[in-house]
Chain A
């Protein structure tokens, strides 16, 4: 019985640990990624020294569509102050994302991750999820979803992070 119990316990524990993703916390170093972009590769570590608003989106997600005009606005308004918006598409079929981008132009950096490795590393809990990353590469804010009434609060967070520099 003893010999049966110990490997079983290990197995169950391994399954449990494997299924639960560790949440991303404020102050933690944002996991780096190197993904294909629209023209060139998009690598998080290349943005060091800039405040990055990292957004996980998909073509099938309604609120993501709502967030695009706002992100365009934010990028144009705060790019001089050092803000870079990086939107990581998590569509399993990147062609759907490209069709979405035709209808919803993005004037910020877009990366494609059909494998889902990046949202897994960031323990994304909902779509869209945005992560504000400071110039030192540390997480300043994790935000779940996009609701029009939260735009001002999000903008205030961005402003605050740019002021800190």
Chain B
């Protein structure tokens, strides 16, 4: 009886953990809130765009700093 209960609990815990795997994905079309300027880390947008410009040219990469600029496959 105890074994069966243990099995049940283990399965319940596992299914809970497995279900979490589906939570983490934000689809490209669901990024409306993330795309808002206030969702970014920067304080000043102009200053950040200068820093981003320098950084991406030094690193030969761009995007990934926000939804509009990358990560959503837009630019």
- Measured CB to CB, the closest approach of chain B to A126, in angstroms, equals 2
Interface size on B, residues (CB 8 A): 24
A residues 1-43 near B (Cβ < 8 Å) are 3-4, 7-8, 11-12, 15-16, 18-19
User: Which chain A residue shows the least CB distance to B20?
Assistant: A15
A133 at interface, CB cutoff 8 A: no
Within 8 A of B (CB), among A88-106: 90-93, 96
Closest approach, in angstroms, between the C-beta of A1 and any C-beta of chain B?
A: 10
Cβ–Cβ contact A119 & B27, under 8 A = yes
Per-residue CB proximity of B49-70 to A under 8 Å, as 1/0?
A: 0000000000000000001100
Select from chain B the residue with minimum beta-carbon distance to A13: B18
- Closest chain B CB from A33 CB (angstroms): 14
A125 within 8 Å of B (CB atoms) = yes
The chain A residue sitting closest to B32, CB to CB, is A60
Cα distance A159–B22 when bound, in Å? Answer: 41
A63 B75 Cβ-Cβ under 8 A: yes
Residues of A bordering B, CB below 8 Å: 3-4, 7-8, 11-12, 15-16, 18-19, 56, 58-64, 90-93, 96, 116, 119-120, 124-129, 144-147
User: Do residues A147 and B32 form an inter-chain contact, with CB atoms below 8 A?
Assistant: no
Residues of B within 8 A of A92 (CB): 30, 32
Shortest distance between the CB of A127 and any CB in chain B (Å): 5
Q: Check A60 against B74 for contact (C-beta < 8 Å).
A: no
CB contact under 8 A between A15 and B22, given known A60-B35, A61-B74, A62-B68? yes
Residue among B7, B28, B31, B75 with the highest chain A CB neighbour number at 10 A:
B28
| Closest B residue by C-beta to A57 | B29
Query: Is B73's CB under 8 angstroms from A127's CB?
Result: yes
